[in-house]
Amino acid sequence: MAGVSVRPRAALAPVSVATWDELLAGEELAHLTTEPAREGRTAPVPDSLRPAVREALARRGIEELYAHQAEAYGAAGSGGNIIVTTGTASGKTLAFNLPVLDALDADRHARALYLYPTKALAQDQARSLTELGVASVRAAIYDGDTPTERRRQIRGWANLVLTNPDMLHVGVLPRHDLWGDFLHNLRFVVVDEAHVYRGVFGSHVANVLRRLRRLARIYGSEPQFLLASATIANAGELARALTGEEATIVEDDASPRAERTVALWNPPLLDAELGLRASALGEASRLLADLAGRGLRTICFAKSRKSAELIHRFACDRLDAATAARLAPYRAGYTPQQRREIERRLVEGDLLGVTSTDALELGIDIGDLDCAISVGFPGTVASLRQQWGRAGRRGHGLAILVASEDALDQYFMREPRALLERRVEAAILDHANPRVLDGHVAAAAFEAPVDEADAATLGAEALERAPHVPELRRTPRGWVWAGKEAPAARVPLRSTSPDAFLVVDASSGDVLGLAEQERAYSTVHQGAVYLHLGRQYLVRELDLQARRALVEPFDGDWYTQAKKETETAIEEPLRVERRLGLELSFGRVSVTEQVVAYQKKAVADGATLDTVPLELPPTTFDTEAVWFVPRPHQLEGLEAMPLLLSSLHAAEHSLISLLPLWAMCDRWDIGGLSTNLHLDTGAPTVFVYDGHAGGVGIAARGFEQFEGWVADTVRLLDGCPCERGCPSCVQSPKCGNLNEFLDKAGALTLLTRMSNSG
């Protein structure tokens, strides 16, 4: 349980800064800063804490708490919901465990439910709860791996059940009759890693939690929600969006922190005109080899398994055999025993360097390291901080971000304050998206008739949707389920379309995941290279009838990019405001896409190897968009074609590349369209839309933060050293036009004029 003990850590082998000083002297260093050490602020263990819990803490050497842990305990004690949003390794776990353990010890009937996004995390938590050894606490994991014969026993015996949202959704709530006693006595619901529940997944989980609240109420309980999240801009909003209730924010981090050096590392520019840079993998392997060669324990996070393997191999090549033998890759699928073995070897200093995909960051707790290298921005500041949080727990640490050529990475290299000081990134979700909500209204009606009173837990929107959900029937008792099987099983939590395509590994028969209908044709068309948990697959066949993509493991050195034609139609503007000198709109649009071809591109340099035509039907989906029509004076001098289109198109791409900084999503979650003449507006128009049917709040966030978003984009374009546009500013890896018609200077002119009108 990291960060629990307030005793100074034993064996504080001080790390000498001089050991890496000379390493950080090259021209690649884009920014260097030192985050100062911080003294911890402690508070006494509260007198009200039960003796059994107090003794358990004492056995672990904990005689005091951090101030924020005591604050969380106090806030939970007064009966409300809380969200703890302090830094990595700040003892968040103890903050929510204390009130729970206390309550379970005081009342032998009381029950608690812990939700974890991954099985590995649930296992880690179960282990540390067991190690804590409070006799009255009977913790058990209940997930897809739990044998049927054990399940009954757990429901009856355990007073602390750890599970995941999927199991709660299909295994627990629909069978609430089996959980009656548990629900009746449910006092606490813990939602750890709450920032993970965003976008489509978060929108579903928000509904699952509302269904849980409703059933608990039916069985006579009102559980308190205790959430823990990485540091984000909108913790209170996230708690409210996820649970439907207010929560007290506990954010004043009182844990001590060692000094940490932060380095932003930009691979050297090889061709300034084209914006071409040296490989981030090569730079990372050099840093890893150098740091490990100096005896510093280092973890390196890469975006894909292939990259992690290459970094490991390149680093080994740079070292003598004895040192190279002390580097290891860290892979998905390791058992808890194997993970602990790696942890032990690191702690004992037998291992010096570990390379991992960032898909694993949540499941890793490998203790005290000196250095952490992130290769490519992992997508969110929260993830990056989580990766960096591994460095320097035993003394002065070093955290490095090695930039990829991606626009957001390059923006951070030039605007380090946007990464290190501003907290703008907000986790967003929308439980009321009808594409998400309808399935949960059906599931709720299956669980118990839905009537007006349920608006208090399920939300008013659920009642509004009920008449639109097929297979629901209105009865005097409320809306009831009139279909056959339990509807929850038909509602996947990671997709907004119930008719998503299954992605199946033909070599093993395993289902790897789902591709939403509106994206299947561009991501899993025949011949596409598909990335899953950092591994590459080649799509052998896309079966439109069976709604299935058959893939096989793939080791080639090319990737694919779909060429598609896109149209948007404005269905309904919801908000129209005068912003930045023009009319800015947010509303509902329908998007029609047709994938017409794909290109094979070399991993090494992005060169086009082949273009293959495809014959696929068009798909249409409804979503939310933000759009604007520039005023004539903002387009002055850009009116000629194709300059006009190229300027709008480049502006659209660069805007999309920076929206994830504000909206905590992936650029693949966002779509765009720019046109010199749109049928609905009758004018040149730029659309940025939510890539998920129904929308999950991404475009809405762009509308709210438009001024800051545009200002960031101006800085991105203005600062990029390329001459005419490059992958680090206006080119997009997912452009349906394959990055044709892009004018960087025109986009900069337009966006600067807009920004100046604000």
Q: Please report, as ranges, the residues that interact with Zn ion according to CB under 5 A.
A: 275, 720, 722, 726, 728-729, 735, 737
Nearer to Zn ion, 534 or 684 (CB): 684
**Residue 498: CA atoms inside 13 Å, Cβ hemisphere, count?**
13
Nearer to Zn ion, 198 or 667 (CB): 667
CB of 689 to Zn ion, least distance (A): 13
CB of 725 to Zn ion, least distance (A): 6
CB of 138 to Zn ion, least distance (A): 56
Q: With beta carbons less than 8 A apart as the criterion, state whether 737 and 730 touch.
A: no
Nearer to Zn ion, 634 or 674 (CB): 674
Neighbouring CB atoms inside 10 A of 683's CB total 15
Residue 37 DSSP symbol: P
Amino acid type, 544: L
CB of 650 to Zn ion, least distance (A): 9
Nearer to Zn ion, 538 or 729 (CB): 729
> Which is nearest to 249 in space by CA: 238, 265, 261, 260?
238
Residue 757 tokens read as 């009108």
Amino acid type, 739: N
Nearer to Zn ion, 241 or 720 (CB): 720
> Which is nearest to 521 in space by CA: 492, 500, 506?
500
CB of 146 to Zn ion, least distance (A): 47
Nearer to Zn ion, 81 or 739 (CB): 739
- State whether residue 332 is helix, strand or coil: coil
Task: State the Cα–Cα distance between residues 96 and 45, nearest whole angstrom.
Answer: 14
- Name the helix (H) or strand (E) containing 380: none
Nearer to Zn ion, 338 or 611 (CB): 611
CB of 130 to Zn ion, least distance (A): 53
Alpha helices in 665-743 (DSSP H): 698-704, 706-719
CA 418 to the chain's CA centroid? 19
Amino acid type, 448: A
CB of 267 to Zn ion, least distance (A): 15
Burial environment of residue 629 by CB neighbours within 10 A (0 to 12, 13 to 18, 19 or more): middle
Q: With beta carbons less than 8 A apart as the criterion, state whether 443 and 491 touch.
A: yes
CB of 593 to Zn ion, least distance (A): 12
Task: State the Cα–Cα distance between residues 198 and 201, nearest whole angstrom.
Answer: 6
Task: Note the maximum CA span of the chain.
Answer: 78
Nearer to Zn ion, 75 or 726 (CB): 726
Look at the block and give the residue holding tokens 């103890």.
94
**Residue 52: CA atoms inside 13 Å, Cβ hemisphere, count?**
14
Give, rounded to a whole angstrom, the gap between the first and last alpha carbons of the chain.
49
Residue 484 DSSP symbol: S
CB of 674 to Zn ion, least distance (A): 8
Instruction: Name the CA dihedral angle for 509, 201, 666, 572, rounded to a multiple of 10 degrees.
Output: 120
Nearer to Zn ion, 625 or 722 (CB): 722
Radius of gyration from C-alpha coordinates of the chain: 26
CB of 655 to Zn ion, least distance (A): 11
DSSP class per residue in 655-668: HHHHHHHHH-S-GG
CB of 309 to Zn ion, least distance (A): 30
CB of 230 to Zn ion, least distance (A): 30
Residue 391 DSSP symbol: B
**Residues contacting residue 246 through CB under 8 Å, at least 6 positions apart:** 80, 81, 236, 239, 240
Nearer to Zn ion, 88 or 685 (CB): 685
Nearer to Zn ion, 275 or 449 (CB): 275
Q: With beta carbons less than 8 A apart as the criterion, state whether 99 and 112 touch.
A: no
> Which is nearest to 382 in space by CA: 329, 407, 419?
419
Nearer to Zn ion, 186 or 562 (CB): 562
Residue 696 tokens read as 């999950």
CB of 745 to Zn ion, least distance (A): 11
Nearer to Zn ion, 479 or 687 (CB): 687
